[in-house]
Structure 1
Amino acid sequence: MNDDGDSAAPLIRLREVCKRYGHGAAALTALDRVSLDIAQGEFVAIMGPSGSGKSTAMNLLGCLDTPSSGQYLFHQIDVGAATRDQRARLRRRYLGFVFQGFNLLARTSAQENVELPLLYRGENAARRHALAAAALAAVGLAGWETHTPSELSGGQQQRVAIARAVVSAPSLLLADEPTGNLDSQRSREIMELLVRLNREQGITVVMVTHEPDMALYAQRIVRFLDGRIESDEANLQPVPMPAASGEKAVS
């Protein structure tokens, strides 16, 4: 795979993408001729009712699936033409994932959870330890490295999950309902963290959410309906960020 080329090209480019499941009368079209560009460094919220196609779109963007027709270019690589192993390498090198349910290993420390992507990439132990500690510090959890998920609050667990997602310096962070299991205060803290990572580290963030108040942190809101993009609009009044006050562990 060659990711060289025009640096001005969008990080993500979907062109007339369709995704169909099944055949004949039982066939289901989850995505119907979707075209979408997302530039490096954008923060995009994807919204839509259940069955609108937003989750299918996220699976495609995350190189977990391929289009039935149309084209998906990521870093100018044609994902639909890539093999399963090539898509796995794309995920390891360029992508970070954050889920509603945190998906942490229960009996494993925060430090070890964050190190997992580096382990899969073959990094040596010293580099894994250093990068994981730095990622935990970046999300406000310095000093919590040895705690297991059961010793952490929901907000802290999601911060560990975000540290794990960004420890390998991905180009793209895909967040699927990242505040869905959190109360309003923890949700705001997580959204502020995602915005900081986007602004300060230049990580492109694409987030699926059903919560309009969480979508307002994004620069752009894309709404899906019946497998198509219903609207794609800039958010002219994003939620203002509080003044920086230094990193600290949160509840």
Structure 2
Amino acid sequence: MTEPLIRLHQVTKRYGSGATELLALKGIDLEIEAGEFIAIMGPSGSGKSTAMNILGCLDTPSDGQYLFKGQPVQRLSRDQRARLRRRYLGFVFQGFNLLARTSALENVELPLLYRGDPPAQRRRAAAQALQAVGLAGRERHTPAELSGGQQQRVAIARAIVTEPAVVLADEPTGNLDTARSHEIMGLLLGLNRDHGITVLMVTHEPDMAAYARRVVTFVDGRIASDRVNQHPSTSAPEAAPQPTSSEAG
């Protein structure tokens, strides 16, 4: 049998000790195959964000195993986990997390700068990533000159510029209106469908989770359900639309 891209086995996460101990994850098991699109749902405090932090190598389990491509992540040093993140993972956040005084191109270049890529190579890759998300011609615009939907597109371009195996998206539509939310979901769906990028997305919105092919729900630190979405939304455009200067977001 083929090894799954990601495997969590009896993963527990505790914070504090004694009377103040908080058990955020209570022995969860989860397998993720390459190329899946998974929505992770659950109420506040359910453990979904803790699980995403572990999946993103931003935290480690207290007990249990996290295997990435068969590699036990919890045995890696901090520097080794950082290298794994740079090579295989891309991150998209609800708040965009763009540098305000920096152009779209320079924002997208940042992961490549940290990786030590040469300037010309960085600029070329960043321009290609912006084109992939429909922002060709907006390379020199700062975040203040872009709508909310366009800013999230820049954030997605930054996440995919390193050609990651996995994109982890934390409430990627949380700050957007309905139209822009579906636009961003269509973009993520297209990246998953056309480029084979595994997408793991935390959301509290059922209509956004409807784009995923699988929905995992957390409750009280455990996986309460793990179901296949038999009829996922398929409204991703064949090519990312070119936003106009009047686009609202």
**Short-chain TM bin:** over 0.9
TM-score when scaled to structure 2? 0.96
The percent of aligned pairs where both chains have the same amino acid is 68
The correspondence of residues 130-209 of structure 1 with structure 2, limited to 5 A, is: 130-209=124-203
Alpha-carbon distance in structure 2 between the residues aligned to 1:30 and 1:90: 24
Does the 8 Å contact 1:18/1:31 carry over to 2? Answer: yes
Does the 8 Å contact 1:45/1:207 carry over to 2? Answer: yes
Quote the residue 1:90 is aligned against: 84
* Deviations 1:83-139 (CA, angstroms, capped at 9, x unpaired): 100100001110000000000000000000000000011110111011000000000
Shift, 1:37, TM fit: 0.2
- Segments of structure 2 that go 5 or more residues without pairing to the other structure are none
* Deviations 1:46-85 (CA, angstroms, capped at 9, x unpaired): 0000000000000000000000000000121111111100
Say if 1:246 and 1:12 are closer, same or farther in 2 by CA, change over 3 A.
Answer: closer
Quote the residue 2:18 is aligned against: 24
Shift, 1:35, TM fit: 0.3
Shift, 1:244, TM fit: 2.8
Letter in structure 1 aligned against 2:100: A
SS at match of 1:179: coil
TM-score when scaled to structure 1? 0.96
Quote the residue 2:123 is aligned against: 129
Quote the residue 1:3 is aligned against: none
Alpha-carbon distance in structure 2 between the residues aligned to 1:239 and 1:112: 33
Say if 1:108 and 1:33 are closer, same or farther in 2 by CA, change over 3 A.
Answer: same
Shift, 1:247, TM fit: 3.6
Quote the residue 1:234 is aligned against: 228
Does the 8 Å contact 2:132/2:240 carry over to 1? Answer: no
SS at match of 1:9: coil
* Deviations 1:149-200 (CA, angstroms, capped at 9, x unpaired): 0000000000000000000000010000000000000000000000000011
Aligned residues: 245
Shift, 1:242, TM fit: 5.2
Alpha-carbon distance in structure 2 between the residues aligned to 1:120 and 1:42: 28
1:74 equivalent to 2:76? Answer no
Letter in structure 1 aligned against 2:69: H
Letter in structure 2 aligned against 1:159: R
Say if 1:246 and 1:102 are closer, same or farther in 2 by CA, change over 3 A.
Answer: closer
Alpha-carbon distance in structure 1 between the residues aligned to 2:62 and 2:124: 42
Does the 8 Å contact 1:198/1:204 carry over to 2? Answer: yes
Letter in structure 1 aligned against 2:56: G
Alpha-carbon distance in structure 1 between the residues aligned to 2:67 and 2:30: 10
* Deviations 1:216-241 (CA, angstroms, capped at 9, x unpaired): 00000000000000000000111122
Moved more, 71-80 or 154-163: 71-80
SS at match of 1:173: strand
Alpha-carbon distance in structure 1 between the residues aligned to 2:228 and 2:9: 20
- Segments of structure 1 that go 5 or more residues without pairing to the other structure are 1-5
Alpha-carbon distance in structure 1 between the residues aligned to 2:55 and 2:173: 20
